[in-house]
Amino acid sequence: MILSLIDEYKENIEKAAEMIRAGGVVAFPTETVYGLGANATDEAAVARIFALKGRPGDNPLIVHVDSIPEAQRAAVFCDKANILAERFWPGPLTLVLKNRGLPGAVTAGLDTVGVRMPDCDAALSLISASGVPIAAPSANKSGSPSPTKPEHVQKDFGEDLMILDAGECSVGLESTVIDMTRDIPVILRPGAVTREMIRECIGEAAYTESFSPDEQETPMSPGMKYRHYAPRAAVTVVEGNNISVAEAIKYLYDKDIKKGDKPLIMASRENKIHYGKRDVVLTGSVYHPYEAAKCLYGLLRDADEDGYTNIYFEAIPKTGIGFAVMNRISKAAAYNIVKV
Ligand code: AMP
Ligand code: MG
């Protein structure tokens, strides 16, 4: 059931907090994506999240807190972690730190825990009203695109799940995750808080080796090739200069049509004109990658709803949050990237 936070904000936050305190699971908004939350200190409640999502038990959850002191009760903060929390919280940055005593179900048995203070009034109100830290992965079934609207959550989990509705998420991509337990902190997942922003604060930050070779400064061992954040349609990313990209996409699209497939083009506002009457949805302006970040998952979900079989995505510049957008779409495409 969807509980609106436009009407009855306090009452609905209280209902959701009661559910959390009782060991239940609630979907709630954050600035990144919707989360599937439960009391992080209650092992049985956390187990319900894994069961609902179909999430492998070895993939740890992020713990959401409403203040820095609350985070410091959950995890051991080093100096650099304090600096990053002061600078970027509340906000889309998850710090991986030594765990202080949260159950192994949350951390997947690791001795570290990912913590974050979300930049979203509804999420902060829920955490405060519950009186406990809230463990939450993205509120989608494992493998499918993360939800950025309450309807996405309901589509994956049905009517029974309690969903707090604060409309569309403002960022639209999951948080940056950074492992602070290494000498040089390592970014495990890129997001709206970029490596440049982190380096400005604490000097050094590396990217994990599990990013694709393209995402590394120096090529690493062959990237892990798995499909994630993925719609049912086959995704192809096309990268190059505007004109060549449009030519390549038109060629691939027209070939699909001849085969009887149903292709869709995800294009920038600037490039739309090249595609004539072909099916196109806009990812925003190439100059404003946060527009693509905000609409990406919704567009992938809509493409499935509309029965598209193939998606051609125009690569966007890897600047700012554009780096994270390209990371997610490359995974959705299982690194099926055409360079022209
Ligand atoms: P999600 O909640 O779906 O956004 O996924 C949470 C992400 O944070 C996953 O990629 C996890 O692997 C990562 N994560 C959470 N806790 C840790 C941790 N202790 N160490 C490393 N990665 C973590
Ligand atoms: Mg997820």
CA 115 / ligand 1 centre spacing (Å): 9
C-beta 81 within 6 A of ligand 1: no
Q: How confident is the model at residue 62 (pLDDT cuts 50, 70, 90)?
A: very high
Strand 93-99 versus strand 75-76 pairing type: antiparallel
CA 101 / ligand 1 centre spacing (Å): 17
Lowest mean pLDDT across 53-57, 150-154, 244-248, 291-295 = 53-57
- Which pTM value belongs to this model? 0.95
Residues in contact with 226: Cβ distance below 8 Å, sequence separation at least 6, in sequence order:
331, 334
Amino acid 145: pLDDT: 93
Amino acid 314: pLDDT: 98
Ligand nearest to the CA of 94: 1
Ligand nearest to the CA of 107: 1
DSSP calls for 61-118:
PEEE-SSHHHHHHHEE--HHHHHHHHHH-SSSEEEEEEESS--HHHHTT-SEEEEE--
Q: For 268-287, write each residue's pLDDT tens digit.
A: 999 999 999 999 999 999 99
For the segment 329-337, the average pLDDT, to the nearest whole number, is: 92
Ion ligand 2 neighbours (CB, 5 A) are: 138
| Closest ligand 1 atom to Cα of 138 | 3
CA 15 / ligand 2 centre spacing (Å): 25
Ligand nearest to the CA of 59: 1
| Closest ligand 1 atom to Cα of 113 | 19
Residues in contact with 160: Cβ distance below 8 Å, sequence separation at least 6, in sequence order:
1
Q: For 230-264, write each residue's pLDDT tens digit.
A: 888 999 999 999 999 999 999 999 999 999 999 99
Amino acid 289: pLDDT: 97
C-beta 328 within 6 A of ligand 1: no
| Closest ligand 1 atom to Cα of 177 | 8
Q: How confident is the model at residue 228 (pLDDT cuts 50, 70, 90)?
A: low
Res. 222: pLDDT tops 50 = no
C-beta 138 within 6 A of ligand 1: yes
Give CA–CA dist 313/282, Å, rounded: 10
For the segment 177-204, the average pLDDT, to the nearest whole number, is: 97
Amino acid 132: pLDDT: 98
Domain boundaries along the sequence of the chain: 2-207, 234-339
Residues in contact with 141: Cβ distance below 8 Å, sequence separation at least 6, in sequence order:
53, 54, 156, 157
Q: What is the CB neighbour count within 10 angstroms for residue 101?
A: 9
What superfamily would CATH give domain 234-339?
A: Threonylcarbamoyl-AMP synthase, C-terminal domain (3.40.50.11030)
| Closest ligand 1 atom to Cα of 107 | 19
CA 334 / ligand 2 centre spacing (Å): 16
Res. 113: pLDDT tops 80 = yes
C-beta 108 within 6 A of ligand 1: no
Rg value, the chain, Cα: 20
| Closest ligand 1 atom to Cα of 94 | 8
For atom 11 of ligand 1, the residue with the nearest CA is: 60
C-beta 59 within 6 A of ligand 1: yes
Amino acid 76: pLDDT: 98
CATH level 2 (architecture), domain 2-207 = Alpha-Beta Complex (3.90)
